[in-house]
Amino acid sequence: MTMDSTVLSTATTDDRACYPLDPLSGAEIEAAAAVVKESEYTTPTLRFVMIQLAEPDKNSELTFESMSDVPRRAFITMYDAPAKMIYEAVVDIGARVIESWTPVPGRFPSYLVEHMTGVEEVVRADPRWQEAMRKRGVTDFGLAMIDPWPAGYYGAQDHYDSSALICRPLTFMRAAPSEHGYARPVEGLIVTVDLDQMKVIDVEDHGVVPLPPKAGNYSAQFMFDEDNRPAFTQFRDDVKTIEITQPDGPSFTVDGWKVQWQKWSLRVGFNPREGLTLHEITYNDRGTVRPIMYRAALSEMVVPYGDTSPTHWNKNVFDMGEVGMGFSANPLTLGCDCLGEIYYFDGTVHDSSGNAVTIPNAICMHEEDYGISWKHTDFRTEEVEVRRSRRLVISMICTVGNYEYGFFWYLYNDASIEMEVKLSGVLTTGSIPEGETPRWGKLVAPGIYGPNHQHFFNFRLDMSIDGPNNSVYEVDSVVEPEPELNPHHNAWIAKDTLVASEAEGARDWNWSTGRYWKVTNPSKKNELGAAVGYKLMPRDPVPVMVQEGSYIYDRARFVQHNLWVTKYDPEEKFAAGNYMYQCAEAQGLPQFVADDAPLENTDVVLWYTVGAHHIVCPEDWPVMPCHYTGFKMKPIGFFDGNPALDLPPSAPKCCHSNRM
C-alpha cells in the first residue's frame, strides 16, 4: 500500500439537502421501513429485501434542477416466507404514507442478509453432510468453508409452485484457519437448503474425489505451504515508489452527489441492487449544456458454467438480481484500490429488519493521466503540438463469493465515455483424481481444475443525445455495392441501417463489417448538416456458449444478442426481469420488445452486453490477475470539431534518469 494518496472528502448520505435523484440516506431508509412496520400490512415474518429510492418520472427537461418540491419516495421489496409472497411498496417518506402495496405471486426474492450468513452454520450441523465429509477423511468440520450458491434451476421441482426458497451451497476445506479454502473443493457434494426455514432438505453425494494435495495461498500470511514449500519467498525488492500528486488539487468539484469535471456534469447514485449508477450526464459545449445520457447502470449479469459434472452444471449465477451488487460493494482502501487525490462516496444499504447499514468508501472517484490525447509535428517548421489526455474515474468493486468485479466508468476530456469491467478474485474450482484430465475445464494445480465458464454483463443506457428523441442506426463497413463505382476494387462505404422498431431491436456484432451502433438526434444538426450523435464501440465481443435447450438459455435470454434497443419505459429496468430466482421462464428483454414499439425519433434505451470468455490457465491461480472487458461511447458528429482542441499544453517535466 502506498501512502501518497489523499482523501479529499467522503460524501455520506445524511449530511446534505436531497436532490430528487440522490440515493436514500440511512435515516430515510429507516423511516420508510418504519412506515411499513407500523402499517396494517406488516406481519412478524415480513423481511425487507431491498429499500431504495423510487426515482421520480423522467421529465422533458431531463433534469430536476428547477424543481424543489419533488417528494422523496422509497421503493421497497419485501418477502414473507410463511406466505411465500413478495410484496412491493412505494412509501412517501415525508408524508409517512404507503402510496401503493402490490403482492407479487409466483416469484422468489434475491438473498436476504441472513441467507448469506446463516447457511454455513446450518450445513455444518447437518448429520448427512457430516457423514459425507467423514467419507472424505474430514473430521474437523470447523475448517469447512461453505458458499451459499443461488439455487439456479434443476427442473420443475425448483419452481415456485412446488419448492421453498432454496440455495445449493458448495463445500471447500481449509487446512488451517484463514487459509485459501478454494484450493480444496469438495467435489460431488451438493446440499440443498430451505432458506425459508433455514434447514437442510437434501444432500447429494456423487462419490468421493480426493481433496487436492497442494495449498493455494497467495498472501504474506502464508509465505510457505503445509509442506514448507514456498508459495513465494519474498516480495519483489525492485518495485520503486510511484507518487500520484495534484498540488493544485483535483479538477472536479462535488456538491452532494453532483459532480462537475472540466466540461462534464453528472450525478452519482447508489442502491442495493445495481450498486453504482450515473444520472443526468451532460457536456458543456462552448456555453451550451448538452445532455448525452439520462441514466447509466449495470442492468444484470450472469455467469454460466460449461461443465456438465454434478457439482458444476447448474452454476448460473445472476450476481446482481439474485444477490445485489450494492450489498456486495467493498469498502475501498486508499492507496490500494484507488490511487491519487481521492473523493469517496459512502454507500447505504440495510439489513432485513430495515436498519440502515453504511458501506464506507463504496464509490471511489479520482482523475488519471491517460497518455496522449492528440499530437502533430510539422516536419517543415519543426513545430510540435501535443496534449495529454485525462479521464475522470468513478468506480465500485464488488465481492460475490469467490469473484471480485470492478465497475469503472471513465469520462474523457475528448467527450468519450467508457465502461470497463475488471474481473479478479479466485476461480470457483473442482477436484479431479490424480492423473485425470478435465474435459470441461483446465488444470490450474495438482488435483484442482477450473471449469470453463463465461461472464456476461448487461448495461442499461438511457440515451438523451441533445434531448429525449433519438434514433439508433447499425453501421457496417461494406465493399462498394456498385461495381461501376469501384473500378480499382478498393472502395468501401459505411452503410447505415435504421433500427426502426423493437422487433428489429436485438442486434449482433459483426467482425467482418466492423459493425458499431450510433444514436442520433434527427432534429439537431451539426454545421455539416448531419444529425448529431454518439457511437457505441464494442470491445472484445465473445461467442455465447449458452445453448438452446438448457435451463439457463431462457433464464438469461439477454446474452443471446450484443445489443437490444427498446423504447423507454420506466418499468423496464433489468435485462433478465425483476425476479429471476428459481424461475425458468424468459423475462426481461424478450418481454420488453414483444410489443414492437416504434423506435425512430423517440426516447430510446440501449441494453449492451459485454462478455468475458474464461478458459482458465495456471496463471489464473491461486488468485486471478485482472481481466478487462467493456465498451466505449464516442461522439460522432456531436461536435463541429475536436472537443479536446482547447486542452492546455503541459509543462515539460524532468525525471531522475533524464534531467532536462
Catalogue the active-site residues. 319, 403
Task: Say if CB 444 and CB 620 are below 8 A apart.
Answer: yes
Instruction: Cite the beta strand spans of 441-581 per DSSP E.
Output: 441-445, 448-451, 453-463, 471-479, 492-498, 506-507, 516-525, 531-539, 563-567
Distances (CA, A) of 619 to 109, 195, 507, 615, 616: 37, 37, 35, 11, 8
| Residue 359 CB neighbours (<10 A) | 21
CA atoms of 359 and 370, how far apart (whole Å) = 30
Contact 347, 275 (CB under 8 A): yes
Q: How far is Cα 168 from Cα 204, in angstroms, rounded to an integer? A: 10
Contact indicator for 441, 308 with CB cutoff of 8 Å: no
- Which residues pair with residue 298 across a beta bridge? 459
Q: What strands lie across the sheet with 46-53, from one edge to the other?
A: 46-53, 73-80, 85-92, 97-104
Q: Which three cell numbers stand for residue 352?
A: 432485513
Instruction: Mark 466-485 as b/e (b = at least 16 C-beta within 10 Å).
Output: bbbbbbbbbbbeeeeeeeee
Cell (9 digits) for 325: 451488487
Listed in sequence order, the residues at least 6 apart from 276 whose beta carbon sits closer than 8 Å to its beta carbon are: 268, 269, 270, 297, 298, 325, 329, 363, 394, 395, 396, 407, 409
Looking at residue 250, its amino acid is: P
The phi, psi pair for 222, rounded to 5°, reads -120, 65
Count the Cβ atoms, other than its own, within 10 Å of residue 311: 24
Which residues are CB-contacts of 369 (< 8 A; sequence separation ≥ 6)?
A: 388, 389, 390
Q: Are 303 and 324 in contact (CB under 8 A)?
A: no
- For residues 544 and 562, what is the distance between their CA atoms, to the nearest angstrom? 10
**Residue 183: closest CA among 143, 135, 228:** 143
- Which residues neighbour 499 within 8 Å (Cβ) at sequence distance 6 or greater? 471, 472, 473, 474, 505, 507, 517, 565, 599
C-alpha cell at 310: 454434478
For residues 155 and 583, give the distance between their C-alpha atoms in angstroms, rounded to a whole number: 10
* Contact predicate 168/149, CB 8 Å: yes
d(CA 335, CA 466): 38
- Residue pointed to by grid coordinates 434505451: 605
DSSP 8-state code for residue 228: S
CB 79 within 8 A of CB 59: no
Q: Which helix (H) or strand (E) holds 31?
A: helix 26-37
Residue type, position 248, single letter: D
